[in-house]
Structure 1
Amino acid sequence: MLVSSMSNGEEFISEVSSIGSIHHVNVVRLVGFCSEEMRRALVYEYMPHGSLEKYIFSPEKSFSWDKLNEIALGIARGIDYLHRGCDMQILHFDIKPHNILLDSDFIPKIADFGLAKLYPRDNNFLPVSAARGTVGYIAPEMVSRSFGAISSKSDVYSFGMLLLEMAGGRRNVDPQASRSQTYYPSWVYNQLSRQEAVGIHQVERKLCIIALWCIQMKPDDRPAMSEVLNMLKAGIDGLEVPPEPFFCGDEFAPAADSSVLSEISTFSE
């Protein structure tokens, strides 16, 4: 239910027709809609296994590493399709475990296009008014343009945060964890860069390294979704740990504006 839709009827119908034309195995299918005055409703195919969130954070519903890799690949294919496979570029702006639904065969499908925006495919950079999302998955440029322009790389950042949670089986911020592991992405980077991740499964290592590339501070330093897809398809060989992400050290603290750092700490912690 889109209870407080701000768009007029024409814009709503236009967006419905665009999203309704999407046909991809990793994007949930729109089967109908209703529109009455300011009330809007979208009807999607039913996903019997619910969201990915309840599986990756629950010890009783864990997946094998091969299955996790398969699910990550499916999500990446879906995002890449939204970015490059449609007539209009569709930016989701709210990629997170809750918005990944699983069908009867546990095939992942991207859902909840409530924040999604449609742009011509040659539009590389978007207006700052597009900045929305969920705390913990929001790219730095969505908070402050001093980090770069909002673009498809903003979805890449969110996917990286999702990938870390899939690999770790825990939320990226866990107040119950020991102090060194409270912010999981930072702990993962420190472990991998110091070669301390002994006994880690190869798939886990691969997912973590790819995720760290995706959550680089500057959009230009992140891979495009098509590159992420290729990295997921390949093995661990040749995959290098990326430069230190912005949240792992104080490299940017002296030069960065304190108000910006405050904003960043708000959504990363």
Structure 2
Amino acid sequence: MTDLPTARVLTIAGSDSGGGAGIQADLKAMLAHGVHGMSVVTAVTAQNSVGVQGVWNLPAAAVAAQFRSVVDDIGVDAVKIGMLGTAETCVLVAELLTTLPAGVPVVLDPVAVSKHGDPLIDADAIGAMRTRLFPLATVATPNLDEARTLAGPDAEGETDQARLGRTLLELGPDWVLVKGGHAEGDPVDVLVGHDTADQRFSAVRDDNRHTHGTGCTLASAVAARLALGADVPTAVAGAKAYVTGAIAGGFALGAGIGPTDHLWDLRRALRV
């Protein structure tokens, strides 16, 4: 926890030109939590409400330079990792994370596919994420589909979130939160940790299709709360409540799936 008036949270992720997910969603969620958001852009996408029209991965030197520029001068109290795109970037980010001061929490959102079904990571990167990044994560936040992919071929068709989470714990993170928004019924996220009972965080499913950026938003909210001093279960509970409100406030933007409303709580407070 910093002595500054605000905590510093770094997002390492891809840019979403439509503003609904990626770096843009991360920074909005961080602002809503009252922390100072910083960014390392790993990829640039041409993206809007109907899909992803193009992806351009940044060279390793550009990613490393952004990281060192921010961390060496400003410092960081928590890190959120999103879209990395390639195995090379996964390995590079893992190496960069090992240079952080001890105790800086890392939230890993293993982004593989966009809300519209467009792939955002190559096949080799899955292996690099499993072996290099999961061991460095304080908490990993895969959705059900991502958890199955990361758990391996034996997990195909698996619906037990706790079992998937415990399989992924074997890769080395301190905690795994398997999100259930893609399952039938009301969404339940299941948090598993070493030597702890499973914890379930439920919400009523909102009848709103404008949910672009929910995964990025949740992971960023967890990172912000960890940076402010919360423990993992408390941070997850608060982030779940925040993203549930953001989903309820999601709005139409463009012709397809609109974004969640990162400022829903502020709008309610201001009555606007």
TM-score by length of 1: 0.29
Higher relative contact order (CA 8 A, sep 6+): 2
Structure 1 or 2: more helix by fraction: 1
Who wins on radius of gyration, i.e. which is larger? 1
